[in-house]
Structure 1
Amino acid sequence: MKVKLANQTIFILCWTFLIAVTIACNSQNQSTKENKTVHSKIDSTRLKYTKGVRSILEDSKGNSWFGSHNEGVCLLHNGELHYFTTENGLSNNQVRSIYEDKNGIIWFECGIGLSRYDGKEMTVYNERNYDSKNKWKLPDSALWFKGDETAGYNKLEGGPGVYQYDGKNLYYRSFPIKSKVGQENAYSISTPFVKSKNGSVWFGTYNALIGYDGKQFKVFNDDSLGLNGTTESLHIRSIMEDSKGNLWIGNNSGGSPIGGIGVLKYDGKEFIRFTKQHQLRKEDTKGNSLDRVFSIGEDSLGNIWFGTVESGVWRYDGHTIKNFTKKDGLDGDFVWIIYKSKTGELWFGGGPNGVYRFTGNSFERKY
């Protein structure tokens, strides 16, 4: 009898042990599975680009688009990334600007040509109208694109200008400017267009700032701004209108062997040499400087942010200017674009990869 009870006890203990081991293994497997799911979710929204994010758009359908410097464009839809290149509908793998028209079509201003996405497929857009180059109009919902060439203009365009899309047709509009021989790139579009609060539209070209109010043009170049054109000259890479109506203009090298003219501020009456005013040229700082600016943005508090080449990001609060670099969480010191999301958060896209957001003290990667 005792032997029988002992055997039963041993059986029960073994069975209990097997059950405990099974539960523990299942729990561990479930935990591992959950960890893999989390990591997969994180990895799935990490952009694979290695040459920099150059353009960003949140569309009306809740999607996010990320254009690269030379690796195509990526669509973030329902938590998944979908990549497009010249192999499936892009006219060129450099995506400089992304817009959405009034019909919900997404447009991609590429290094060469235009493409668009209708919600189903990406296609190259080849239709052009050159019959009314000088018939400028300023419809509220117009989109504006650079010329079809990477730099300069082709025979059909004939001279410096911009493409205007009115929701149905794409027209080439000529600027009231003639480029000099050897300087065909001087008036090529180099920034996304800016629609001002007063209804005017502004275009940044490499060597001039051009505004049109529906009646007349304003053209600002080295001569009108008092720049000598050699050690100091315009080389516009970004324009932005702030909440107060000021226009900020970011410049690259500007012809100087040691730096550039950096940021200009235009209040509608006069230009302020912002970088020079705050003594932030390389010749002043001997280190990180605000003289090569590729992107400008404004946050919900009214702070103005500048993305640079080589010197990371700078924030201006109206009084002081602070610099953020790799030590503050940025992957690199080159920031192509500063984009304000629909929630009011600023996204910083640059090189060599990724899109970052500011946490209040430092930067962390978002995509």
Structure 2
Amino acid sequence: MRLIYLILTLTLNVSCVEKESTEEETSMPELVVASKTETLKFTSGIRAIFQDSKGNYWFGSQNEGVSFYDGKSFKYFTTNDGLSNNQIRSIQEDTNGRIWFGTARGVSVYDKKSGVTNYLTKTSEPKYDWNETNGDLWFYAGEEDGISRSDGMDVNYLIFPKPKNKSPASTYGVTDISKAKDGKVWIATYSALFSYDGNKIDIFENEKLNLEENKVLHIRSVLADSKGRIWIGNNGIGVLLKEGETTINFSEKKNLIHPKSTRNGNKSEPGTLEHVFAIEEDLEGNVWFGDRDTGAWKYDGKTLTNYSIGDKTSSPMTWTIYRDNKNNMLFGMADGNIYRFNGKVFEKLF
């Protein structure tokens, strides 16, 4: 039953087309947000937002590839231009200014001189000892066994050390990654949370996260905040908060789980925080949650404030929350729109 639940709640929309790059790219000017001349044409949902070191924005969609925005116009990249897949799950930049895309089927790296180069996330030579590899770039690598890591040159497929009591229905596709200020990497997968400090891998599953037997992990987001707290967003059981060795169900403590909630992915009632697909921290230390059904939530350490985003009749799902280079909080939505919080309300940016 759990496997059926996972299949029903995942909407991958994966394209299987893989082509070599033929894209030739010209130089890219600095971003000037005020001078945009057209709107973003994605409709399938914004899964990733990234602002590079030159100020340009990159937007990753659910199934329409990547859009690049230089402050004047949008440019689009798909499998026709060399991407591994049109579902973009993460966007990063290496020390040489190259842009890396974690897709649903492989990793693509874009260089303005050489175009797009693709790497398979799964290889015939996986690494079981993570310490044999290097790099600060981490990527989704399928639903079963591991994660991809790159130093900007080589891409290695690393195998997760699974919990000893894992269920046959457990799946370990990477859903989110957060890097703590102490250098530790926190990796969210559907069935467990992993941390890696450059030497040791720790596993956090039901028992370590202090969950009751009837509570099922389905992790969709993680944040290591500036105070050293670990926030874990689930699709069904809400937000878990890990502080040191103690973990609580934050949503339950704040009475944000509906009394009749099935906790298994069904649609939530207004005023609840049960399906958290995105978590981010703003410059003031407020923690933001993006709920699938109930909009955005801001926690200032004492008070939780719930905001509606976009058309209240449709209540679009928040796929991702991103803090840009100027500390703007951007919210990527399932309807293909991007909103910015101006301190009081949400305004549509793209």
Alignment TM class, shorter chain as reference: 0.7 to 0.9
Q: Which residue of 1 aligns with 2:242?
A: 266
1:73 aligns with 2:66: yes
Letter in 2 for 1:226: N
Q: Which residue of 1 aligns with 2:205?
A: 221
Q: Which residue of 1 aligns with 2:54?
A: 61
Shift, 1:299, TM fit: 1.2
Residue pair 1:57, 1:66 contacting (<8 A) in 2 also: yes
What is the aligned counterpart of 1:135 among 129, 137, 157? 129
2 CA distance for matches of 1:127 and 1:224?
29
Shift, 1:336, TM fit: 0.7
Shift, 1:216, TM fit: 2.0
What SS class does the counterpart of residue 222 from structure 1 fall into?
coil
Higher RCO by CA contacts (8 Å cutoff, separation 6 or greater) = 2
Q: Which residue of 1 aligns with 2:302?
A: 319
Shift, 1:293, TM fit: 0.3
1:352 aligns with 2:350: no
Residue pair 1:51, 1:353 contacting (<8 A) in 2 also: yes
2 CA distance for matches of 1:227 and 1:361?
36
Residue pair 1:332, 1:350 contacting (<8 A) in 2 also: no
1 CA distance for matches of 2:222 and 2:317?
17
What is the aligned counterpart of 1:234 among 217, 226, 237? 217
2 CA distance for matches of 1:138 and 1:195?
20
Q: Deviation string for 1:97-130 (max 9, x for gaps)?
A: 0011122111111111111110242333348765
1:82 aligns with 2:65: no
1 CA distance for matches of 2:83 and 2:301?
41
1 CA distance for matches of 2:162 and 2:297?
34
1 CA distance for matches of 2:349 and 2:228?
30
Q: Which residue of 2 aligns with 1:32?
A: none
Cα 1:181/1:298, change in 2 over 3 Å = closer
What is the aligned counterpart of 1:175 among 160, 171, 184? 160
> Size of the alignment, in residue pairs?
308
Q: Which residue of 2 aligns with 1:201?
A: 185
2 CA distance for matches of 1:172 and 1:240?
23
Q: Which residue of 2 aligns with 1:17?
A: none
Gaps of 5+ in 1: 1-40, 153-159, 253-259
Residue pair 2:68, 2:75 contacting (<8 A) in 1 also: yes
Q: Which residue of 2 aligns with 1:186?
A: 171
Residue pair 2:309, 2:346 contacting (<8 A) in 1 also: no
Shift, 1:278, TM fit: 0.2
What SS class does the counterpart of residue 252 from structure 2 fall into?
helix
2 CA distance for matches of 1:108 and 1:80?
21
Shift, 1:79, TM fit: 1.4
What is the aligned counterpart of 2:110 among 83, 104, 117? 117
Shift, 1:363, TM fit: 0.7
Cα 1:172/1:319, change in 2 over 3 Å = same
What is the aligned counterpart of 2:99 among 106, 124, 132? 106
What SS class does the counterpart of residue 202 from structure 1 fall into?
strand
Residue pair 2:192, 2:204 contacting (<8 A) in 1 also: yes
Letter in 1 for 2:185: V
Letter in 2 for 1:205: T
What is the aligned counterpart of 2:150 among 165, 169, 182? 165
What SS class does the counterpart of residue 80 from structure 2 fall into?
helix
Q: Percent identity?
A: 41
Letter in 2 for 1:165: S
1 CA distance for matches of 2:278 and 2:121?
31
Map residues 31-70 of structure 1 onto 2, 5 A cutoff: 42=36, 44=38, 46-70=39-63
2 CA distance for matches of 1:364 and 1:138?
46
Between Structure 1 and Structure 2, the one with more helix by share is 1
Letter in 1 for 2:110: Y
Residue pair 1:203, 1:211 contacting (<8 A) in 2 also: yes
What SS class does the counterpart of residue 208 from structure 2 fall into?
helix
Residue pair 1:325, 1:333 contacting (<8 A) in 2 also: no
Cα 1:96/1:273, change in 2 over 3 Å = same
Q: Which residue of 2 aligns with 1:157?
A: none
Shift, 1:174, TM fit: 1.3
TM-score (norm 1): 0.77
Letter in 2 for 1:195: K
Q: Deviation string for 1:180-232 (max 9, x for gaps)?
A: 6742x5222111x22221121111000101011223221111133232454x1
1:245 aligns with 2:228: yes
Letter in 1 for 2:129: K
1 CA distance for matches of 2:178 and 2:233?
13
Cα 1:141/1:113, change in 2 over 3 Å = closer
What is the aligned counterpart of 1:310 among 293, 299, 302? 293
